[in-house]
Each structure stands twice: as structure tokens, then as C-alpha cells.
Structure 1
Amino acid sequence: MQLSYWELKNWFSNVDYTIVGSGIVGLHCALALRERFPTSKILILEKGILPQGASTKNAGFACFGSISEILDDLKTHSEDEVVALVEKRWKGLQLLRKNLGDSVIDFKPYGGYELFLKDDEAFFEECIQKIPFINEVLKPVFKTDVFEKQVDRFGFQNIFDYLIFNPFEGQIDTGNMMQALLKEATSKDILILNQQNVSSYQDLNDKVEVVTNEISFTTNKLLFATNGFATQLTEGKVQPARAQVLITKPIENLDIKGTFHLDKGYYYFRNFENRILFGGGRNLDFEGETTTDLNQTKIIQDSLEQLLKNVILPKYDFEIEHRWSGIMGVGNHKKPIVEQLTENVYCGVRMGGMGVAIGSLIGQELADLL
């Protein structure tokens, strides 16, 4: 594309910091850099018309891990590592709320619940028995008990009568959050260019040459905040994980409020006003869902609808209004990767499905690498 002199001068000359990815991590990184370097030129490149990964496509859970997810993490991580992960997620949520304000992101502290299907009795019993242990493990972070057993009052079916409740969990409006972050970045003279796909880069020691689908230019520092799209960047340490989601039409007299986890966190649902937003099912086809394709599949969509009908909304008539997918970044470890790749290139990736919780903190940590 042949750019004008004015376009080259204002957008692509004397660029101090270029951030790839305009999601939660990328925007928080840019805002942290602006605070430290008030007169610098900061440019964000985004390959989609909106953030392409999960930042505008997630379910809006302000969570840090259900009891079954934490127990699962303890099988592959040390106790100290799991506590550090939960603490990072919790601190990230507080930072997000502080930066944007609860009213802006429509934060609702309804609490979080975990359901257990009737055919998973052994796992249900294990989670109930481990409540005191997990509460003790997390006490350094929350200073009080986190999880407790409660009777199901929502009328779910084909589950055990008891749910595990967590009062520290809440829900947000994902669209409001991202719109607020984008407005904040624009107000701080941070340049954002959409539909710019970075195809290659070369660190030239004193600067970095960046090549997109439209232009080649140089920047002093290059920072990647591409999460699920960072497989090549991290030599396979990050894998994409598609999350399929649907939302119902408004449901009359809906009496379900909160964020809910099912089947070790592989399914998750919440109310949004008088609708149910429901996602998950990646465990039905791990190989197929290791993709950056944003389509949906019949096996998972059918599973979501069956669970809505038989477990979540058995007493309600409902219709599906909309379906979509987002791309998370996962790996063999839940700890995010925040590191320097070359002299002038850095990355903050692998949110592990917890981008809402830790994205703000990882963006700040990415900026701090400089």
C-alpha cells in the first residue's frame, strides 16, 4: 500500500514502542508505558477489526479458579505455584476494577458456584472433602475461607443437591470493559491500527524492523501481547484453545444470578441480565479445539444445548439467539510467559483462560520488562 507522507510521518516514523495485540494485555501494557514515558510514540497493531483473540469474546467471569480447577492444577503444579497463580489472578482483578471502575465494567459480586453432574459422584465427594484443605491453602491470599457447601436453590437438574459457593467471584460486561480500555488508550495519545497482521520482524540491535500485511517500518521496541496466537513466537510453549459460546434470548422470570462452573471448569455459564450465556466443551475434542479458527462445531454446540435443556434450564423455555468463539492461550503450565525474546523484543502471553483476571497485571509486567 502506498502511504502518504502524512501517514508515514504521524503513524510510522520515530516509533518508540510497538505493541502487537489490542486486547486486555496489550492495552494495559500501552497505558503503563504511557505513564512511564509521557512523550513517547506508542503504536498498537491489531490484526482484527476488534481484538481478535478472547478479550472481546470471553464470558465476562471475574474469577480465579473453581475448587475443581485448583485441585486439578495441584496435580501438575506445586502448592506454592498454585497459590501464586491464584494470587496473581486475584490481584489482577483488583487492578482491573481499580483502573476502570466497577460501574464502567458493570461488576456484579454475585459470587461463583460449582455444579457436579450426578454421574460424577467420586469427583463430587473429593471436592466436598477437600474444601477445608483448599481454604487453608488459599488463606494467605484471602485471609478467610473461600469455598463453602450450599444447597442448590436454582432448580438445576441431574446434579447433586449441593453446590460449592465462592463469594469472591463476580461477573463483568466484557464489551463495556474493552470499550473503556480502548477509549482510555485513545485519550492518552496511543495510536491503534486495526487489520494489521504482523508477518515478520527482525531485531537490528538498535531497533526492530516490523513487517505487516500493509507496511514495513522500524520501532525502538516491539512487544507481543498475542496470547493464543503466540505458538511460533514461543516455540510451542503456547497453544491456541478455542472456546465456543452461545447466549439465549431473554427468558421470562429467570431466577439465576451468578457465575457457574461445571465439569472441572470445561463448561461455564452465567446470567447476563435475563439471558443465559454458556460456553465450553473443549474437552469433547481437545485436538479439534487446538485451533485459531473462530467457527463453531456441531458436537460442542449440541452438547451446550443438551446441558441447557437437561441441567441448567429444565424449567424454562428458551431459544438460542447468538453463537461465537474466542481463542485462548494455554500450555503445559498455567504460569503466563512474560519475557524478553531478543535485545528489543518482548512478549506477555499464555493467559491460560484467565485473561480477564490476569490480563491487566500481565500487561503491566510486560511494560516493566523495559
Structure 2
Amino acid sequence: MNLSYWEIKSWLTNVDYTIVGSGIVGLNCALRLKQRFPKANILILEKGTLPQGASTKNAGFACFGSLSEIIDDLKSHSEEEVFQLVQKRINGLQLLRNTLGDSNINYQQFGGYELFSTSDDLLEECKAQNDYINSFLKPLFHQDVFRFKPNSFGFENCQDTLSVNQFEGQIDTGKMMMSLLQLVSNSGIKILNNITVEDVSEDSTSVKVKTHQFEFITSKLLIATNGFASALNISEVKPARAQVLITKPIKNLHIKGTFHLDQGYYYFRNIDDRILFGGGRNLDFKAEETTELSLTERIQNKLEALLKTTILPKTPFEIDHRWSGIMGVGKQKKPIVTQLSNHVYCGVRLGGMGIAIGSLVGKELADLV
């Protein structure tokens, strides 16, 4: 593409910081850079028309982990690592709320609930570990986080007991991203959409960025592409597709809160009198390790079956819409926020906790330079 003199001069000349990815991490990174360097020329490149990965496609859970997820994390991470993970999620959520304001993201703390299948012993394990986990988290919350209560929602084919997390909340994902984009625009930060970064090379003073449309020079490059990070040679991050569906509005829908099932591999909530329901990548981890924003019959059928048999067993419903998003995961849940070379940095691998830690990872990424 042949750019005009004006386009090159106004958008692609004397660029101080270029951020790849306009999701929650990239936008927060840009805001923090502008706060630190008010006169800096900051450019964000986004390969989608809208943020392409998970930032505009998630379920809007303001959570830091269900009881069974935290217990499971302790099997593969040290106590200190898990404690720091939960602390980061709490701090990240608070930063998000402070940055945008609760009304601008429709933050509501209705609590989180975990359902337990009748086909395994997960509930018994959670009951056995509950006091220990509450004690473990007490320095962060100063009171018990998890407790058990009877299932009063009418869910079927699951245990009669639910785990309740009083501190879990929910947001409107679309409002969050529109508020962030507005804040970035008002700060004089430029965003170019539908631009794919194909290659990056650097010399002693700068980075040359090659996109599918043009090339330009930037002083520093910050990668915030999370699930798409492997395309820019960050091999520690694997894509993880999350498939979602939403029903048409349902009359007298008395489900309030955020809900987890099967160690968080399934999750659902009420939004605008609809059930938003996602998950199921544990049915085929390998197939869902993809950056393709498509759907599979196997997972969509499973989501519908669980809606019929467990979540809405006595309520007729119709599916209104389906979509998928791409998360970034790895062997460890700790985000990768690091300097890759002289002038290239990254903040990736959010582990499905983008709402919780995205703001904080963006800030930490900006603070590396």
C-alpha cells in the first residue's frame, strides 16, 4: 500500500512507543505510558476491526479463581506462587475499577458460585480443603472467602451443595472496552485497526516493524497480543479458544451471580435476562489450541446439553448467538511480563484471567521501559 506524505507524517513518523494489540493489556499499557511520558508519540496496532483476542469476547467475570481452581493450582504451583497469583488478580480488578469507575463497566458484586457434578468427588475435596484455603487467603481478604450453601437455583444433575465466593463480581465487557478506548482516544493515543504485524527487526537504537500494509520505525515495541503471542515468536504462550453462546431473553430468570462448573472449564451468568454460557475446551484441549475464531459442533452441542439438563432444566430457551475468543495459556499461570531484547517487551499469558489481571499486566509492561 502506498501511503501519502500526510499519512506517513501524521501516523508513522517519530513514533516513540508502538503497542501490538488493543485489548485490555495494550490499552492499559498505552495509558500508563502516556501518564509517565505525556509528550510521547504512542501508536497501537490492532489486527482486528475490534480487539481480536478475548477482551471483547469474554464472559465478564470479575473473579480471581473458584475454590476448586485454587485447590488445583496448589497441586502444580507453590503456595507462594498461588498467593501471588490471587493477589495480582485482586489488585488488577481494583486497578480496572479505579481506572474506569464501577458505573462505566457496570460492576456488580453478586457473588460467585461453584457447581459440583454428581459424577466425581470434587465437592468432598473442596469441603476437606475449605478451611485451609480460607486461612490461606485471609491475609488478602481479612475474612473467609468461601462457604457452602444449598443449591436454591433449581440446577439439576449436580450436587445439592454449592460453594459461594462473596467477593466475586461481574462486569459488562463491552462497556469496559468502550470506556477504555474512549480514555485512550481522549489521551491523544493513536490506534490503527486491521493491521497485522508480520515481522520485527531491531538495531541499536530502534525497531523496524513490518505490517501487511506498510513498514515504519519505532523507538520501542511492546507486545500485548496474549493468545496470538506465538505468531511473534513467544513460544511460552499457547492459544486457548473459548467457545460461548447466549440465549434469547428468558422471562422470570432468577439466576443472579457468576457460576463455575467443572473446575471453571464451564462458566455462565445472567446478562440482560439471558444466559451467557461458555467453556468446554477440556473436551478437546488439542483442537482448542488454535487461533481460529470458529466454533465446533462437539462443544456447542455440549453447551446446549448442559443448558437443558443442568442450568435450565425446566425452562424453555432459544439460542440467540454464538462466538469464540482466544485466550493465552501456558504451563505456568504467572503472566509473562518481560524485556525480550534491547527495544522489545511483552506482557502476555493471562491464563483466562484477562479481566482480573489485564489492567495490572498493562501497567507492569509500560513500567518496564
User: How do 1:114-133 and structure 2 match up within 5 A?
Assistant: 114-120=114-120, 122-133=121-132
User: How do 1:207-218 and structure 2 match up within 5 A?
Assistant: 207-218=206-217
Look up the match of 1:270.
269
Quick check: 142-151 or 328-337, which moved more?
142-151
User: How do 1:177-192 and structure 2 match up within 5 A?
Assistant: 177-192=176-191
Separation (CA, whole Å) in 1 of partners of 2:122 and 2:251: 34
Look up the match of 2:78.
78
Look up the match of 2:165.
166
Map Cα deviations across residues 48-96 of structure 1 (whole Å, 9 max, x no partner).
0000000000000000000111111111100110010000001100110
Separation (CA, whole Å) in 1 of partners of 2:44 and 2:234: 23
1:110 matched to 2:110: yes
Look up the match of 1:19.
19
Look up the match of 1:52.
52
Map Cα deviations across residues 27-50 of structure 1 (whole Å, 9 max, x no partner).
000000000111110000000000
Counterpart of 1:51 in structure 2: which amino acid? P
Look up the match of 1:292.
291
1:123 to partner: Cα distance: 1.4
The runs of at least 4 consecutive aligned structure 1 residues that moved more than 6 Å come to: none
Counterpart of 2:6 in structure 1: which amino acid? W
Separation (CA, whole Å) in 2 of partners of 1:44 and 1:233: 16
Map Cα deviations across residues 128-162 of structure 1 (whole Å, 9 max, x no partner).
12110100111111111100001111000011111
Quick check: 344-353 or 230-239, which moved more?
230-239
Q: State the secondary structure of the residue aligned to 1:328.
A: strand
User: How do 1:209-228 and structure 2 match up within 5 A?
Assistant: 209-228=208-227
Separation (CA, whole Å) in 2 of partners of 1:117 and 1:260: 13
Separation (CA, whole Å) in 1 of partners of 2:254 and 2:83: 34
Separation (CA, whole Å) in 1 of partners of 2:254 and 2:304: 19
Look up the match of 1:33.
33
Counterpart of 1:94 in structure 2: which amino acid? Q
Counterpart of 2:253 in structure 1: which amino acid? L
Separation (CA, whole Å) in 1 of partners of 2:129 and 2:310: 25
Q: State the secondary structure of the residue aligned to 1:342.
A: coil
1:124 to partner: Cα distance: 1.2
Question: For this pair of structures, how many residues does the alignment match?
Answer: 369
Q: Percent identity?
A: 64
Separation (CA, whole Å) in 1 of partners of 2:209 and 2:102: 37
Look up the match of 1:330.
329
Counterpart of 2:118 in structure 1: which amino acid? K
Map Cα deviations across residues 239-272 of structure 1 (whole Å, 9 max, x no partner).
0000000000000000000000000110000110
Separation (CA, whole Å) in 2 of partners of 1:258 and 1:89: 19
Look up the match of 1:340.
339
Separation (CA, whole Å) in 2 of partners of 1:285 and 1:3: 45
Normalised TM-score (structure 2)? 0.99
Q: State the secondary structure of the residue aligned to 2:44.
A: strand
Look up the match of 1:146.
145
1:98 matched to 2:98: yes
Counterpart of 1:359 in structure 2: which amino acid? G
1:111 to partner: Cα distance: 0.3
Map Cα deviations across residues 219-239 of structure 1 (whole Å, 9 max, x no partner).
000000000011254542100
In the alignment, is the contact (CA less than 8 A) between 2:199 and 2:232 conserved in 1? Answer: no
Q: State the secondary structure of the residue aligned to 1:83.
A: helix
Separation (CA, whole Å) in 1 of partners of 2:29 and 2:234: 23
Separation (CA, whole Å) in 2 of partners of 1:304 and 1:276: 11
Counterpart of 2:262 in structure 1: which amino acid? D
Quick check: 231-240 or 309-318, which moved more?
231-240
Separation (CA, whole Å) in 2 of partners of 1:34 and 1:158: 52
Q: State the secondary structure of the residue aligned to 1:55.
A: coil
1:118 to partner: Cα distance: 1.1
Separation (CA, whole Å) in 1 of partners of 2:147 and 2:204: 54
Separation (CA, whole Å) in 2 of partners of 1:175 and 1:239: 25
Q: State the secondary structure of the residue aligned to 2:114.
A: strand
Separation (CA, whole Å) in 1 of partners of 2:204 and 2:301: 52
Counterpart of 2:7 in structure 1: which amino acid? E
Quick check: 135-144 or 284-293, which moved more?
135-144
Counterpart of 1:102 in structure 2: which amino acid? D
Give 5+ residue unaligned stretches, structure 1.
none
